[in-house]
Amino acid sequence: MNLPVPDNYIDIHNHGAIAIENVFTVENLIASEERTPDETPGLTYSIGIHPWYLTPENHKELIKKVIIFSKHANVIALGEAGFDRIKGPEINLQRDIFEKQIIISEEIKKPLYIHCVRAWDELLAVRKKMKTKMPWLVHGFRGKAELAEQLISRGMYISLWFDFAIRPVSTPLIKTLPPDKFFLETDGGDVSIVKLYEKVAVDLEMSIQQLKHLFFSNFINFFGT
């Protein structure tokens, strides 16, 4: 299994990452894709059933695949999984498959990446009902400080949506987030993780080196590595 070193830029969530010197990436595998968690320098993996690609026909087969892949040494997390009220099947199927992935995450003791669009109440209700112990990472976050605070108080970490984090509009939120509870990601977008670090280092009045150490220590804490 690959792990980052303190000097790496950490891209906590990506799709289609390639090995880049000094960048460590958690590459996401969507269970409906044909890809596998192959050993690649600078990469480790998450695997999950994304609500966009979930159907009444494919979920049994996809859960089997997630169970098998989640045991792989190169897979460090479950997900992205969760709720989407804009795109995806009806909410009861989404909840059922999300809960199944929570059970896998808890059993195998690997944290869970969350995709959540307009379903925060659902997400919080499931977290409470399932009495989850593993930390969750809400990826692609661009909500308000109050919502971030609520999620963090329930054992979640936040990864900021790249297109939000890079813009000045995100600065007030970044300044209020607990520094030990968030991450940066490129999510398959046309943006460099180095540029994201540069922007957030200015927001937090830190050097790039300090920011690298912050996100490295967040990585260690979140994954318990």
- Indicate whether 84 belongs to the interface with Zn ion (CB under 5 A): no
Nearest partner of 132 among 108, 168, 162, 102, judged by Cα: 102
- Terminal C-alpha separation, the chain: 11
Nearer to Zn ion, 34 or 146 (CB): 34
For the chain, the C-alpha Rg in angstroms (whole number) is: 16
Q: How many residues bind Zn ion (CB under 5 A)?
A: 1
Residues in Cβ contact with 17 at an 8 Å cutoff, skipping those fewer than 6 apart: 11, 25, 27, 43, 186
| Cross-strand partners of 46 | 28, 77
- Indicate whether 11 belongs to the interface with Zn ion (CB under 5 A): no
Report the nearest approach of Zn ion to the CB of residue 36 (Å): 18
Report the nearest approach of Zn ion to the CB of residue 23 (Å): 17
The one among 174, 187, 193, 222 contacting Zn ion by CB under 5 A: 187
Distance CA 147, CA 55 (A): 29
Q: Which of residues 63-82 bind Zn ion (CB under 5 A)?
A: none
- Indicate whether 185 belongs to the interface with Zn ion (CB under 5 A): no
Q: Are 150 and 138 in contact (CB under 8 A)?
A: no
Q: Tokens 């890079």 sit at which residue? A: 166
Nearer to Zn ion, 16 or 168 (CB): 16
Nearer to Zn ion, 201 or 223 (CB): 223
SS3 93: helix
Stretch of residues binding Zn ion (CB under 5 A), selected from 19-27, 158-166, 185-193, 216-224: 185-193
Residue of minimal CB distance from Zn ion?
187
- Indicate whether 27 belongs to the interface with Zn ion (CB under 5 A): no
Stretch of residues binding Zn ion (CB under 5 A), selected from 93-101, 104-112, 158-166, 183-191: 183-191
Nearer to Zn ion, 27 or 187 (CB): 187
Stretch of residues binding Zn ion (CB under 5 A), selected from 40-48, 71-79, 179-187, 215-223: 179-187
Q: Are 155 and 136 in contact (CB under 8 A)?
A: yes
Nearer to Zn ion, 161 or 215 (CB): 161
Q: What is the DSSP letter of 191?
A: -
Distance CA 11, CA 197 (A): 10
Q: Tokens 């919502």 sit at which residue? A: 147
Report the nearest approach of Zn ion to the CB of residue 81 (Å): 11
Nearer to Zn ion, 4 or 51 (CB): 51
Give contact residues for Zn ion (rule: CB under 5 A): 187
